[in-house]
Every structure is written in structure tokens, then in C-alpha cells.
Amino acid sequence: MLTHVDDAGRPRMVDVSAKDETFRTARAVCEVYLPDAVTRHVRDGVLDSKKGPVFHTAIIAGVMAAKRTHELIPFCHPIGLDRCNIRIEMAGPNRAMIECETAVRHRTGVEMEALTGATVAALTVYDMCKGLSHDIRIEQARLLEKRGGKSDYDGDPALADAGADAS
């Protein structure tokens, strides 16, 4: 059942007013393939460009985007995140892994915020490095897990295995 469509097939925002507030968390990941022209600029796990420290800037952009998810995705509820942490690491010679973890005590989940944070961080890496190469690829944005609310989700193990083999 699609939750953002009413019985007549019209789009709608989900009514969460009757739900209990619970502690909710989500983790999402986005992989970024970086060609050699970009990875030549990685030193000790830090990627620098003429625009500045790439990963640090991407972390800031991802957190800002996660906080504004409701302005970007129709029908997402505006929520004040209690936590948003983004971690970016090189996971092989040409692969950066961006993970976003979000948390809130609310009536609705934070998986869209986690996905938004991870993907906007990936877009920021692309933007800051496109002067070095346009062969950068943003790949496999996916939800890893969510907790709290009506149901928990632990990700698709097949995707986790596929991601591990790719690096």
C-alpha cells in the first residue's frame, strides 16, 4: 500500500497526529566511485581540491540537507533532528563510502533524512571534484537500517555483500 496516496488515488501527506512519539534512527549509505585523476589528491584519507577540503565540505552539506529534507521531498514532515552524523571514508583505492546516521524523538521516521544527507554529501563530492574528472559516479544510495516506529528495517544483506565486493 502506498502511504502517500488516498483511496481515490490523490497524493496526500500521511497523518501522523495519532502516532506515539518514539525514538527513531536510520542509517543510509552512498558509494562514490572516484577515478584515478581524483584519487591522486587523497592524502591520509583526506581529499583536497582547489575548492577546499572535499570530505569536510561534503559532511557539512549533507547535514544541512538532512535538516531540510522536508523542503526537498514532497510530503516529508518537518522534523528537528536530534542527531545527524556523516562519515566519509575511502573504502578502497577508488571508492568513497558516505554514511549518514540520523535520530529523532518524533511520530515519524528519519530514513528520508538519512538518505538525503548521504546523497547530498555525494553530490558535493562530485561538485568539488568535477574539475579533475567527470568520470565520478554516485552509486548505490540505500537505506542500511531504521529503528523505532511501526517496523524496523535491517537492510538487504545481498546489497551489503555486493557493496563489499565492489571495493
pLDDT digits (tens, 9 = 90+) for 109-128: 899 999 999 999 999 999 99
What confidence tens digit (pLDDT) does each residue in 33-87 have?
Answer: 999 999 998 887 777 878 889 999 999 999 999 999 999 999 999 999 999 999 9
Each domain of the chain, given as residue ranges in start order, spans 34-147
- 3-state SS assignment for residue 58: helix
- The answer to whether residues 130 and 136 touch, using CB atoms and an 8 Å cutoff, is yes
As a whole-number percent, the residues of the chain with pLDDT over 70 amount to 93
Whether pLDDT at 32 is above 80 = yes
In the numeric block, which cell numbers belong to residue 82? 536530534
**Domain 34-147 maps to which CATH number in 3.30.70.640, 3.30.70.3270, 3.40.190.290, 3.40.920.10?**
3.30.70.640
**What is the sign of the dihedral through the CA atoms of 108, 14, 76 and 9?**
positive
- The answer to whether residues 58 and 124 touch, using CB atoms and an 8 Å cutoff, is yes
Output phi, psi for 7, to 5 deg.
-60, -25
Strands (E), 42-159: 42-43, 46-49, 52-53, 83-90, 95-106, 137-147
Q: What is the pTM of this model?
A: 0.88
Residues annotated as catalytic (active site), given as ranges: 127
